[in-house]
Amino acid sequence: MKSARRCIVGLVLCLLGGVAMANPVSFADLARHARYKMVKISPDGRYVAVTAVVRDRTMLSVIRLSDLHGFNLEPHDNADVIDFWWASPTRVIYTQGVRDSNFDAPLADGQLFGVNADGSGRDLLYGYGSHNPYYGAADLISALPGDPGHVLVSVSNLDAATSDGVLPVVEKMSVTSGQMTKVMTAPARNVDFIADHAGHVRFAYGVDNEDNVRVYTHPAGEGDWQLLPEIDASRDLPLAFGANDKFAYFDCNVPAGFGICKWDPATRKLAIEWSNPHVTATGLASGPEEDHFIGVNFEDGRPGVALFDPHDRDAEVLASLVQQFPGEGVQFVSSTQDGSKAIVAVESDTDPGAFYLYDRVSRTLRLLFRAAPWIGPEKLAAKQPFEFSARDGMRLQGYVTYPPGQESARSLPLVVYVHGGPYGVRDWWDYDPDVQAVATRGYAVLQVNYRGSGGYGYAFQKAGWRQWGGKMQDDVADATRWAIAQGIADPNRICIYGASYGGYAALEGAVKDPGLYKCAIGYVGVYDLGLMYERGDIPDTTYGKNYLKRVLGTDRKTLAALSPVNQVGRLRAKVMLIVGGEDARVPPLQGQEMRKALRAKGIPCEWLYRDKEAHGFYKEANVADLYANVDAFLDANIGPGKMSMVAGTAQH
C-alpha cells in the first residue's frame, strides 16, 4: 500500500484486528457504481466517447478534446448504455442493456443505436421499431476502415433458436439507416466472429454443447468455412489479426504451459510468440498505434506485461509509462488511427482506475477521468499475492488483503472470501469493493484460486469438475490453514463468505470443517445441488444440461450428501443468508430451503432478503445495506465484541 494508515492511540487497539480504522471509506461510497467505465478516442483524435453514470443511469457521453464540452445521451426505455464503438471519426454505434435476473448488472438487449459526435443523428439501427425485422440480438464484429458508412455485425435469429442455441448471420449494416446486407451464415451455432483489417470475416469459434472447442476459418475471398481440427484438439482460440493480416494471434497451449502463438493462414501452423509455465494470457497488449500489438498481458500474482520486442517504438512508450506508475497496471485501451493520441488506463488494488490522454508528439500525459473520484486510495487495503501447495500437491495462488496499516500484524480476524463461478472465474489483484468493505473494517481477507478457477489452463479448470464439496472445498480449507500457519489469522476468529458457488462453499465449508469457521455467510448461494437440475435457468438449454452433468455428476445420492441443506446437523458456525428475490440463476428457493432446514434444527440465522434484487445486489442503497449487515454480523461473531477493547469502545 502506498501510504499506510495509522492507528489513533488510546481510541482503537489496531494490533488486535477487527477494529475499523478512523474514518474509513464509507459503505455508501464503496457501493457506488464507477462514474466512468470505458473511454475510447475517435479515429481522428478530436473526441472521446465515455460511458458515464449520471443520476444512477449509465449514459454515453461524447466530449470534444479541444474544450472538453459535449453531450450526455440518455438511453431509451430506462436502460443503460453497455458498450460502444467508433464506426468513423464522427459516428458512434452503441448498445444498451436492461437488468437481467441472472446477473448483478445490466446486459445488452441486442439492439444497436447510432449517434453523431455532435449529438445529432440519433437513430435506432436494429431493434424494436427499426427498419430491419427484429429477430434477436445483434453484436458489432468490426468497423470497416475503408468504408466508414458501414460496419459488420452478427445477428442471432432467436425465432430460429433451439435448445442447442442460435445460428448467427454476418451482416453489413449502414451506420445511418441500419439497412443490412447479408454477408454469410455461421458454420455452427453459438459462435463468435473475427474479421481481418480489410473487413473479411476470417474466423468463427466457440464451444459446443459437449464442451469441445470449434474453430473455423474462412478465406478472405470466395470459399467455404473450414474446420481446424488440429486447433480444436489443442483448445486454442483466435484473438485478433496482426496489423498486416499476414498472421493471426491465438491463445494457445504449449508444452511448457500456456502461450500466445502466431497462426499462418498459408501453412495453418502455430508458432509460439510468448509462454508462461503457470498462467494463461489475459490478452494482447496494445501500443498507442491502433491494432499494433506489442506484447502480452498476464497475471501471475500481480499484473504483468511481456513485450515482444523491448526496442519497438511503441513498446518503449509503454515501458516509460509503467515507470511513471510503479505498482499499478498500465494499458493502452484506445488509440487514433495514426497513433498520434491514445487513451491510457491505470488501476491497482487500491485504485478503481483513471483514464489519461497520451500525446505522442508532445510526449505528454493528461488526466481525463477518474473512475471513482470519491474513493481515496490512501484509505484502502492492499492485496498481497501468495502461493502454496494444497494437500495433494496442487499449486494454488491467491491473495491476502490486510487491514490498512496492519500489513505486519499477526493473528488477525480473517474472512475467507470465496469467488463464484466456479469454473473459469478467478480472483484478481484488483480493486474489489466487496473485499474493501470487509478489510477496511479491520479484517484480513483471504482469497484463493481453487482448482476449477480460470487463468491456469483447461486441465486446472477440469480438475474441479465433480469436486463440489470435494477437492475444491479442500483447497479453500487448505488456504485457510495456510493463513493460520503463517500467523496471519487468529484460528478462533475466522468466517467464510461467498456468493453463488462461493455461497455454497461458505456453508459447505462450515459443515465439512465445523471447527475451522466461526461463522458462514452465503450470498445468493446454492445449498441443494440436486435442485440445480430442476430450478433456475441453467437446465433450460442443452449446453446447460450437459454442463451440469459434466461438473456435478448425476448421482442424486451423492449430490444430496454434498448439499449443505442436508448437513445442518454438523453445523457449529453462526449463519447469515443473503437472497435476491428475482434471482433466476440461483432461485430464492435455494436460500429459503436452507433457512427452513436451519429452523427445523433450531439453528437461528441472519436473513437479508431483497425482493427486487437478482443474482447479486445491484442497487447502490441495497449494496451499502448489505455491507453494513455483513459488518455487523462479523462484528458480533469474530470482531471487536470477541476481544478486549482499549477504553471499552471501538468505532465502526
User: Mind listing the pLDDT tens digit for each residue in 35-72?
Assistant: 999 999 999 999 999 999 887 789 999 999 999 999 99
Mean pLDDT of 157-163: 66
Residue ranges and CATH numbers for the domains of the chain are 34-185 (2.40.128.660), 380-648 (3.40.50.1820)
Rounded CA separation 652/634 (Å): 12
Q: Pairing relation of β-strands 412-418 and 192-195?
A: unpaired
Rounded CA separation 202/191 (Å): 13
- Count of CA atoms in the C-beta half-sphere (13 A) of 582: 14
Which of 511, 513, 543 minimizes the C-alpha distance to 527? 511
271-323 pLDDT, tens digit each: 999 999 999 999 999 999 888 999 999 999 999 999 999 999 999 999 999 99
CB under 8 Å to 632, separation ≥6 — which residues?
A: none
Report whether pLDDT(130) > 80.
no
Kindly list the strands in the beta sheet with 226-227, ordered across the sheet, starting from the edge strand earlier in the chain. Answer: 192-195, 201-207, 213-217, 226-227
Report whether pLDDT(170) > 60.
yes
pLDDT at 77: 73
Mean pLDDT of 76-103: 83
Report whether pLDDT(375) > 90.
yes
Report whether pLDDT(11) > 80.
no
Mean pLDDT of 434-441: 98
3-state class (DSSP) for residue 311: coil
pLDDT at 119: 95
pLDDT at 145: 81
Mean pLDDT of 111-124: 94
pLDDT at 539: 86
Which of 283, 279, 278, 280 minimizes the C-alpha distance to 295? 283
pLDDT at 9: 26
- H or E segment at 599? helix 589-600
pLDDT at 108: 74
Which of 202, 251, 191, 253 minimizes the C-alpha distance to 226? 202
Higher pLDDT, 158 or 502: 502
3-state class (DSSP) for residue 196: coil
- Helices vs strands, H then E, count in the chain: 11, 36
Mean pLDDT of 377-388: 96
Contacts 24+ apart (CB under 8 A), 381-384: 381/1, 381/350, 381/435, 381/436, 381/439, 381/440, 381/445, 382/1, 382/349, 382/350, 382/407, 383/349, 383/429, 383/430, 383/435
Mean pLDDT of 207-231: 91
Confidence band, pLDDT 50/70/90 cuts, at residue 100: low
3-state class (DSSP) for residue 181: strand
CB 79 within 8 A of CB 107: no
CB 536 within 8 A of CB 585: yes
pLDDT at 166: 84
pLDDT at 164: 74
255-265 pLDDT, tens digit each: 889 999 999 99
441-489 pLDDT, tens digit each: 999 999 999 999 999 999 999 999 999 999 999 999 999 999 999 999 9
Mean pLDDT of 162-183: 90
pLDDT at 397: 98
- On the 0-12 / 13-18 / 19+ scale of CB atoms within 10 A, 163 is exposed
CB 178 within 8 A of CB 166: no
pLDDT at 161: 63
Q: Pairing relation of β-strands 574-580 and 605-610?
A: parallel
The DSSP string of 60-104 is EEEEETTT--EEEEPPGGG-EEEEEEEEETTEEEEEEEE--TTSS
pLDDT at 19: 54
Omega of the bond leading into 303 within 30 degrees of 0 (cis)? no
pLDDT at 562: 97
pLDDT at 134: 63
Mean pLDDT taken over the chain:
90
CB under 8 Å to 633, separation ≥6 — which residues?
A: 519, 521, 574, 576, 606
Which of 8, 16, 24, 11 minimizes the C-alpha distance to 404? 24
Report whether pLDDT(558) > 50.
yes
pLDDT at 131: 65
Out of 17-21, 76-80, 545-549, 554-558, pick the least confident: 17-21
3-state class (DSSP) for residue 478: helix
Total-model pTM: 0.91
Rounded CA separation 505/597 (Å): 17
pLDDT at 233: 84
